[in-house]
Chains A and B, each alone.
Chain A
Amino acid sequence: MSPSDLIPLLPIIAPAAAAVAILLIIGFGRNHALAAALSLVGLAAGFAPLCGMSPTASTRVASLLTLDGYALFFVGLILAAGFVVVLLSHGYLQRRERQPEEFYVLLLIATAGAVVLAMSSHFVSFFLGLEALTVSLYTLIAYERQGRNGIEAGVKYLILAAVSAAFLLLGMALIYAEFGTMEFSRIAEAWSDHGRSLLALAGLAMIIVGVGFKLALAPFHMWTPDVYQGAPAPATAFLATVSKTAVFAVLLRYFAAIGAAQAGSLRAVLTLTAILSMFTGNLLALMQASVKRILAYSSIAHSGYLLIALLATREYAPLAASYYLLAYVVTTLGAWGVVTALSNKEGDADSLEDYRGLAWRRPWLSGALTAMLFSLAGIPLTAGFVGKFYLLTAGVAGRLWLLVIMLVINSAIGLFYYVRIIVALYSQPRPGGAEPPAATRTSPAASAALAGLLLFLIWFGVYPAPLIGLLQSLAGNLR
């Protein structure tokens, strides 16, 4: 193995190496700024080689990992999202934690796991990546050891994720039992040769259950609101973006390989899941008084929207899904970033009351949050609109009329609760109401991250042409 063979693995090696380095440094003495800086360097070092790679080439590493244009895009997205989360975390942890350095270690390992997922083309790497991601997430979610909510959220995630992993493993085992291989491409060949067998279909269903947990699709969504609310805000931002993106990336690759999304019964199941997720997420979000829970339920609905891309034709599926995910990641990071920036020593900014009249105290932060919420709702001039437009295009092209109409209805419902937060932001603070939480200065790193996200959101909402071109060259050749 020559050193040049290692270059495709650099996106995994660099964050992992940074994690080890931070661990070693902690042994000598704690230094929060150094830990954060090292994490940034590690993530950037993982990102850098991606820029030099050809989008059409496809590098395979021992049949476990594939780095083609499609993986290139998702790996880049995951590393960039991890980078932003680190930027957001620094100020937050500075205010909150006495021992913040391990947070970065876990974050880096989880990111490396997510990168493995995005590159995986084999059940083994699929599962390894998923576990590296999930095990780090257990701890990230419960990082706040003092509070009850953190522990509760961590345990909840631990139990449900373990159950879902069991489902996933059994599904993989069933498919292996039927076809005798764990490579996606070989499974695809066997699938088309043997036709559908009951065993393989059962295996596929179990995999969907397992993946459904990770993507917070209804009816496997129960953990989402509690975990999103209980976890520290930057951890939630990571969970909602990186973890979801990685799992969806591998799901889409797997489905595109075996072409199973075209099978009738599976389509029916996925359609039902999509509709159920949209309605569950949106209707339950209407009843929440906590911004974190609203965002959690909204993420369930967005997972439902994403399934539309999965069911669309091959011509549109990867493109629509990648654009939508990109917009979703930017927007969600922005929204949670604002929550992070508003959280002070006592607790995270959570109840709607904390946000009342914010526009007159913190105009830039609430302007950013407003833009993010409009993007989640799919209002034009934001990236979220272009993403939703792409989904609708994919849906109409694939003649998924039922899903398209459901998307329209749910967008209207969704608008209601996004707008509720915006109303709170811009209404006058109640005289004699609760004292607004003590103002905290937004750290420069978080400000820069939020400004970057906002710029990205508007730039690619107004002029998405270059991004679409990039996606077509990268994700377009997923076959």
Chain B
Amino acid sequence: MILTWCILIPFAAGVLAWLLARRSVIACRWISLLAPAASFGLALWAGANGDAQGRCLVEFKVPWIPAWGISFSLTMDGVSLVLVLLTNFLSVLAVAASWRGIQERVGFFHFNLMWVTAAISGGFLATDLFLFYVFWEVMLVPLYFLIVLWGHERRIYAAIKFFIFTQASGLLMLVGILGLYFIHGRAAGVYTFDYRALLNTPMSSSAALWLFMAFFAAFAVKLPAVPVHTWLPDAHSEAPTAGSVILAGLVLKVGAYGLLRFAVPLFPGAAAVLSPYIMTLAVVGILYGALLAFGQRDLKRLVAYTSVSHMGFVLLGIFAWNAMALNGAVAVMVAHGVSTGALFILVGQLYERVHTHDLNRMGGLWETAPRLGGFTLFFALASLGLPGTANFVGEFLVLLGTYRVNIALAAVAALGLVAAVIYALWIVQRVFHGPNRERWRFADLTPRETAIAAALVAVALWLGLYPAPLLRTIGPALQQPLPYQPETRPPELTLAEPKARGLDRAQHVGPERTISEAAGGGTH
């Protein structure tokens, strides 16, 4: 029941905030600030009281649409716990960061913010595929409104693009879910959307491949993976600060979480067959995102493209699929949420002062705003993966885990770290150093803004210097789940093995051959 409250509190707070805003804007802001904080506390309490040894900490299940085998079923394991905590943490900061910037339609703004928070928490907790899909879709609508109503110049284009990309791919996932539902129902005689019942559904390898691709389409768009990332720079750069924080910090994580929780465990065979290609895509994303980030003139777009690069590491880690890489992937998810969320907040605070994102019009701002500059420098360094920050822990573990599976890809992915240095320092250089051509003069960070940034610094440092609690929490959840660990892969996957593991010259020789070979190998 605690888990239900975690979701219900922000939902209810959203409605309440909207109704209250007519009377008192301050009350509306405070309710929106306290609701995610309360959810945060509840989740923490649930996690602390849960069975820390097992995978599942807390569970809640009631029938919802029994005729179709749909239940309202929530489960929290270590990974969900960490992600729910991150969700509510960033949501509190998003409210705080919008305290002054949002003055129009305040009630509706906070309504949307609360609903997207609740829906994302729900997505991290749902263990019924139908329920997951519902949360997946419900989070789109408030985000769409956040971008359309409070965004920048090209907001309508960006919002519609975002909405259509995610909706269309989400429907593909729904078709995949239904396909799985019927395959399982026909085989087992029980029609259900329950995640655990659907695990280990026997099916032909071609069916698994199709269904996996339907799921992967949705998650790859949300993640985003190259080449379906094009909605991201538009949506992120046009959204208001809070929207960007939620998008970059949380929505992308739902995509990664979906791969980790649903796509790979449900179709381990297909995931193994496709993993070399997906890992290659991930590495392309890492480098391509970094390269594009470097080419941007718009500061917010630059930060947006760094997300493409960072999420490439997550994708790489998930498909390397060993304990180390998976731990790394989840750590990157958390670290990226914190550091990119922070960068978006800082960019937003800068925008409130200079009203532009154009890098060419900035420069020399350190003198006028040293605190803003200092925080930006810190998060730019965190973003490039400086040891001592959480990002370093995650990316290092991902590379280490990938190295055990595929040395070449690990080596190329490591180049992404170099590219990250360039764009991260580029941000600081262009904004804060050099001549102050436009003669900007403005007040430095207020105490409220300083407190937000300081909280983020504290979390990033804590996770970077002492990641043991984080890894201890997510570890058990990533240990057992899972069929297809490299050591114990099912026999039909051996064909893909040499390609997935190191020295992949074969991969460059003939990808088509590999896929048909592997698929053919699975059918017997």
A→B interface (CB under 8 Å): 374, 379-381, 385, 389, 392-393, 396-397, 404-405, 407-409, 411-412, 415-416, 419-420, 423, 426-427, 463-465, 468-469, 472
Kindly supply a per-residue 1/0 record for chain B positions 136-148, scoring 1 wherever the CB is within 8 Å of any chain A CB and 0 otherwise. 0110110011001
Q: Does B64 belong to the interface (CB within 8 Å)?
A: yes
If A393-B178, A396-B179 touch, whether A464 touches B65 (CB-CB below 8 Å) is yes
Bound Cα distance A419, B164 (Å): 10
Q: Does B67 belong to the interface (CB within 8 Å)?
A: yes
If A408-B175, A426-B145 touch, whether A397 touches B182 (CB-CB below 8 Å) is yes
Bound Cα distance A397, B174 (Å): 13
If A392-B175, A396-B175, A412-B171 touch, whether A381 touches B160 (CB-CB below 8 Å) is no
Pairwise interchain contact B137-A419, C-beta atoms closer than 8 A:
no
When C-beta atoms are compared, the residue in chain A nearest to B172 turns out to be A408
When C-beta atoms are compared, the residue in chain B nearest to A461 turns out to be B134
Distance to closest chain B CB from A379 (angstroms): 6
Q: Does B66 belong to the interface (CB within 8 Å)?
A: yes
Pick from B140, B168, B175: contact of A404, CB below 8 A.
Answer: B175
Bound Cα distance A411, B156 (Å): 19
Residues in A whose Cβ lies below 8 Å from that of B159: 419, 423
Pairwise interchain contact A415-B64, C-beta atoms closer than 8 A:
no
Pairwise interchain contact B148-A423, C-beta atoms closer than 8 A:
yes
Kindly supply a per-residue 1/0 record for chain B positions 33-74, scoring 1 wherever the CB is within 8 Å of any chain A CB and 0 otherwise. 000000000000000000000000000000111111000000
Residues in A whose Cβ lies below 8 Å from that of B167: 411-412, 415
Pairwise interchain contact A392-B168, C-beta atoms closer than 8 A:
no
22 pairs across A/B with beta carbons < 8 Å? A379-B137, A379-B140, A385-B137, A392-B174, A392-B175, A396-B181, A396-B182, A407-B171, A408-B175, A411-B167, A412-B164, A412-B167, A415-B167, A419-B144, A419-B163, A419-B164, A426-B145, A427-B156, A465-B63, A465-B64, A465-B65, A465-B67
Pairwise interchain contact A374-B141, C-beta atoms closer than 8 A:
yes
Residues in B whose Cβ lies below 8 Å from that of A464: 65
Residues in B whose Cβ lies below 8 Å from that of A465: 63-67
If A374-B141, A380-B134, A423-B156 touch, whether A468 touches B175 (CB-CB below 8 Å) is no
Q: Does B149 belong to the interface (CB within 8 Å)?
A: yes
Residues in B whose Cβ lies below 8 Å from that of A426: 145, 148-149
Distance to closest chain A CB from B196 (angstroms): 21
Q: Does B195 belong to the interface (CB within 8 Å)?
A: no
Bound Cα distance A465, B159 (Å): 33
Residues in A whose Cβ lies below 8 Å from that of B175: 392, 396, 404-405, 408
When C-beta atoms are compared, the residue in chain B nearest to A424 turns out to be B156
Interface size class, chain B = 20 to 34
Bound Cα distance A359, B144 (Å): 16
Residues in A whose Cβ lies below 8 Å from that of B134: 380-381
Distance to closest chain B CB from A364 (angstroms): 13
If A464-B65, A465-B66 touch, whether A380 touches B178 (CB-CB below 8 Å) is no
Pairwise interchain contact B179-A415, C-beta atoms closer than 8 A:
no
Q: Does B133 belong to the interface (CB within 8 Å)?
A: yes
Distance to closest chain B CB from A50 (angstroms): 23
Distance to closest chain B CB from A317 (angstroms): 16
The A contact surface, by secondary structure, is: helix
Pairwise interchain contact A468-B65, C-beta atoms closer than 8 A:
yes
Pick from B141, B145, B168, B181: contact of A379, CB below 8 A.
Answer: B141
Chain B residues numbered 111-160 whose CB sits less than 8 Å from any CB in chain A: 133-134, 137-138, 140-141, 144-145, 148-149, 156, 159-160
Pairwise interchain contact B163-A381, C-beta atoms closer than 8 A:
no
Bound Cα distance A409, B171 (Å): 9
Distance to closest chain B CB from A153 (angstroms): 32
Bound Cα distance A48, B33 (Å): 51
Pairwise interchain contact B174-A389, C-beta atoms closer than 8 A:
yes
When C-beta atoms are compared, the residue in chain B nearest to A407 turns out to be B171
Residues in A whose Cβ lies below 8 Å from that of B156: 423, 427
If A396-B179, A426-B148, A465-B64 touch, whether A380 touches B168 (CB-CB below 8 Å) is no
Residues in B whose Cβ lies below 8 Å from that of A415: 163-164, 167-168
Bound Cα distance A387, B178 (Å): 14
When C-beta atoms are compared, the residue in chain A nearest to B145 turns out to be A426
Bound Cα distance A392, B174 (Å): 9
Pick from B64, B141, B168: contact of A411, CB below 8 A.
Answer: B168
Name the residue among B140, B174, B175 with the largest chain A CB count within 10 angstroms.
B174
Distance to closest chain A CB from B178 (angstroms): 4
Chain B residues numbered 163-219 whose CB sits less than 8 Å from any CB in chain A: 163-164, 167-168, 171-172, 174-175, 178-179, 181-182
Given contacts A381-B138, A389-B174, A411-B167, 5 further A-B contacts (CB under 8 A): A374-B141, A385-B137, A393-B181, A419-B163, A426-B148
Pick from B65, B160, B178: contact of A416, CB below 8 A.
Answer: B160
If A380-B137, A426-B148 touch, whether A468 touches B178 (CB-CB below 8 Å) is no
Residues in B whose Cβ lies below 8 Å from that of A419: 144, 159-160, 163-164
Bound Cα distance A243, B363 (Å): 66
Bound Cα distance A389, B175 (Å): 9
Residues in A whose Cβ lies below 8 Å from that of B145: 426
Bound Cα distance A409, B133 (Å): 18
Pairwise interchain contact B67-A412, C-beta atoms closer than 8 A:
no
Residues in A whose Cβ lies below 8 Å from that of B64: 463, 465
Residues in A whose Cβ lies below 8 Å from that of B178: 392-393, 396
Distance to closest chain A CB from B437 (angstroms): 33
If A380-B137, A392-B175 touch, whether A408 touches B168 (CB-CB below 8 Å) is yes
Pairwise interchain contact B168-A409, C-beta atoms closer than 8 A:
yes
Distance to closest chain A CB from B403 (angstroms): 39
Pick from B67, B138, B179: contact of A468, CB below 8 A.
Answer: B67
Residues in B whose Cβ lies below 8 Å from that of A412: 164, 167-168, 171
Residues in A whose Cβ lies below 8 Å from that of B138: 379-381
If A396-B182, A397-B182 touch, whether A468 touches B164 (CB-CB below 8 Å) is no
Residues in A whose Cβ lies below 8 Å from that of B144: 419
Distance to closest chain A CB from B394 (angstroms): 32
Pick from A380, A385, A409, A472: contact of B67, CB below 8 A.
Answer: A472
When C-beta atoms are compared, the residue in chain A nearest to B63 turns out to be A465
Name the residue among B137, B167, B172, B179 with the largest chain A CB count within 10 angstroms.
B167
Name the residue among A380, A381, A408 with the largest chain B CB count within 10 angstroms.
A380
Bound Cα distance A385, B138 (Å): 11
